Amino acid sequence: MSAQSNRSKADQDPSTWMPPFDGDRCEYITDWITVKVRWQLAIDSSEEAALAENAAPCPNAPVTVTLAR
């Protein structure tokens, strides 16, 4: 992700921002979900819907998460 893209994202979640390049979306979604699971953070319905919709074209890749202590 470029610095300009990161600035445009600011503090938005996936329901209001996705990386502009399709090739970056799968990694962004995977990273977002990994952080949510690791830190046991809540996810709202709009965020969940956006993640599901944008993850549809992503390959099924295993995600390993180590829970924070």
User: If we measure between CA atoms, which residue out of 13, 27, 15 comes closest to residue 58?
Assistant: 27
* Chain segment 29-50, per-residue pLDDT in tens: 999 999 999 999 999 999 999 9
Report the distance separating Cα 65 and Cα 16, nearest Å: 25
pTM over 0.85: no
Give the tens place of pLDDT for each residue, 9-22: 677 999 999 999 88
- End-to-end C-alpha distance for the chain, whole angstroms: 29
pLDDT digits 0-9 by tens, 47-69: 999 999 999 889 887 778 888 77
